[in-house]
Amino acid sequence: MCVGGVWMEPRLTSFSLWMKRLMLAVFLLLVVDVLYLVLTRGSAYRQDLLLGAACAAAAVLLLPAVTPLLERLGPLRLWLALSLLCLAVKGAWILLVRVPVEGDYLVFWGYAGFLADTETLTNGRYIALFPHIFGYSSFLSWFVRLFGAGELLAPWLNVALSLCSGSLLFQLGRRWFSLGAGAAAYLFWTACPSQTMYNSLVLSEPLYTALILAFLLLMTELECRTGRLRRPALAGAAAGLGGALLLRWVNGVRPIAAILLIAAFLWVLLLNARRLAEREWRGVWLPFLAALTAAYLLTGPLWSGHIARRIGEEPSSTPGYSVLVGFNGDSGGQWNWEDSNRLFAYSDIPGSTAQEVQERMLDDALARITSGQIDFPALIQDKLRTFLGSDDACVGYSSAALGHIRRYTLLCNGFYDACLLLALAGAVRLWRRGSGTPALLAPLYVLGLTSAQLLVEVAGRYHYSLLPMLILMAQAAVPERPVRWPRLQKKEGTR
């Protein structure tokens, strides 16, 4: 490099290291705040946290002794064994627990049936107001056409997606840390109580979570191959195109693809600023970002046109309702009848379009935000408590088919708190690693999704896609070798 480049390289190294530590510091503060909210929530949640601490300690002590034994199987046989175990656990649950389809889950199931039977819906206003409903309903309709509208179709599809996510976690853990870490991540995913329980429901979380993990793996594999590519710019652009298609699919199922797009830019331009001085590295990643952004933006109108053709109305592109609900201090940013009734009152105005309805809701949201009547610190804490403070929403959704509600709540929250504690320790260990590791994409996504949820409607199940991120970060906290306790030395002259 030129003299100026040599002079800049130490500064870029220092900058990327500082940005990494800043991001991890924010993540650490977030997790500490969430744990504080758990401690102040009540005695039952403190019991859950105590169980979580015990589980975290057990993982730190036992996994280093177990994973070397698993590694002896080799990557392929180990993956097959873990996949069979995951299939057995998730499959057994959906066979034993049949949850009635109702509420939001009935909406997904109903529209999947309509889309399977007809090319264009006669009344698609609800999907036009919330276009992400189309993404999962359309996906589910493919399988309704193939296999019929059986009671266990959606649950078995969830199990298949769980296997996909577990396999992606296995590969990500293997690439980021070690083969043992990949195996441990798959085991954590298999054991996760809430994820297992959600499989009995008709919901989009398993699909978009698998797509998110696929996007992270795409970036990770490209990073592993950087420096060994014959045509770096072409490979980067091709990976960017593939990533854009994944993000467009994510956004069609849940409008959060912008979080991943921003995370990709932050990882390349800030957390890897020092590597931008390397010609070959930037020759891969700058074309990746360019192709990723261009293809993602260009496919947006195509996707909207496809939805309009299937539902008979132009979908809205404004999240007005979600923002309005997100700043409702009385409901803590959660769904409420007041805002829901307002939405449908606007929708019932003759001649109104879905876009006009959502724009009116956004105007109302801005008026609410600037009214001076919102206690923003209290609202933020309420939303964090709802979004990240527990993992027992699945128990409420499945309560009609469950007994021993408190036991399931304890199990779900205990496991979740263990992941939080291990992720906290994992972030500390990542602090010491190189600034550009792809493992930093996990805390980046956690911070991005949490920030977005502070602006819109919040619910406990919306943190579903954070579970694999916490599981991956937990692997950074687990020692690679068994913990060796110091032996007690006999004092001289004693027996």
- In this predicted structure, the answer to whether residue 65 has a pLDDT above a threshold of 50 is yes
Instruction: Measure the CA–CA gap between 406 and 306, rounded to whole angstroms.
Output: 45
- Which DSSP string corresponds to 81-148? HHHHHHHHHHHHHHHH------THHHHHHHHHHHHHH-SS-S--HHHHHSTHHHHHHHHHHHHHHHH-
How do residues 330-383 score in pLDDT, each as one tens digit? 999 999 999 999 999 999 999 999 999 999 999 999 999 999 999 999 999 999
* CA–CA distance, 466 with 333 (Å, rounded to integer): 19
pTM for this predicted structure: 0.94
Question: What is the residue whose two structure tokens read 């083969």?
Answer: 179
Q: What is the pLDDT of residue 479?
A: 81
pLDDT in tens, 251-282: 999 999 999 999 999 999 999 998 988 889 99
The stretch 24-45 carries a mean pLDDT of 93
Q: What's the average model confidence in pLDDT over 8-13?
A: 75
Which pair of tokens denotes residue 330?
């009385």
| SS3 (DSSP) at 246 | helix
- Has residue 5 got a pLDDT over 50? no
Q: Where are the alpha helices (DSSP H) in 333-375?
A: 337-347, 354-369
Residues 6+ apart with CB under 8 A from 451: none
Would the pLDDT of 23 be above 70?
yes
Q: What is the pLDDT of residue 2?
A: 39
pLDDT at residue 491 tops 70: no
Report long-range pairs for 148-152 (Cβ below 8 Å, ≥24 apart).
Answer: 149/113, 149/116, 151/98, 152/94, 152/95
- State residue 96's pLDDT score: 95
pLDDT exceeds cutoff 80 at 226:
yes
Q: What is the pLDDT of residue 31?
A: 96
The tokens of 221 are what? 């594999």
Given pLDDT bands bounded at 50, 70 and 90, which one contains residue 492?
Answer: very low
Kindly tell me if the per-residue pLDDT of 8 is higher than 80: no
Single-letter amino acid code for the residue at 379: L
> What pLDDT score was predicted for residue 258?
97
229 SS3 class: coil
Mean pLDDT of the chain: 92
* pLDDT confidence of residue 3: 37
**Would you tell me the crossing angle of helices 467-475 and 153-176 to the nearest 10 degrees?**
30
> Phi and psi (nearest 5°) for 430?
-65, -25
Query: Residue 495 above 60 pLDDT?
Result: no
Q: Measured in whole angstroms, how far is the alpha carbon of residue 483 from the centre of its chain?
A: 31
Residues above pLDDT 90, as percent of the chain = 84
For residue 30, what pLDDT band results from cuts at 50, 70 and 90? very high
Q: Which of 25-34, 38-47, 76-85, 86-95 has the lowest mean pLDDT?
A: 38-47
Instruction: Note whether 411 and 395 are within 8 A (CB).
Output: no
| Per-domain boundaries in the chain | 3-475
Can you give the C-alpha Rg of the chain in angstroms?
Answer: 24
**Nearest 5 degrees, angle CA 395-CA 396-CA 399?**
80
Residue 4: what pLDDT? Answer: 43
At residue 437, does pLDDT exceed 60? yes
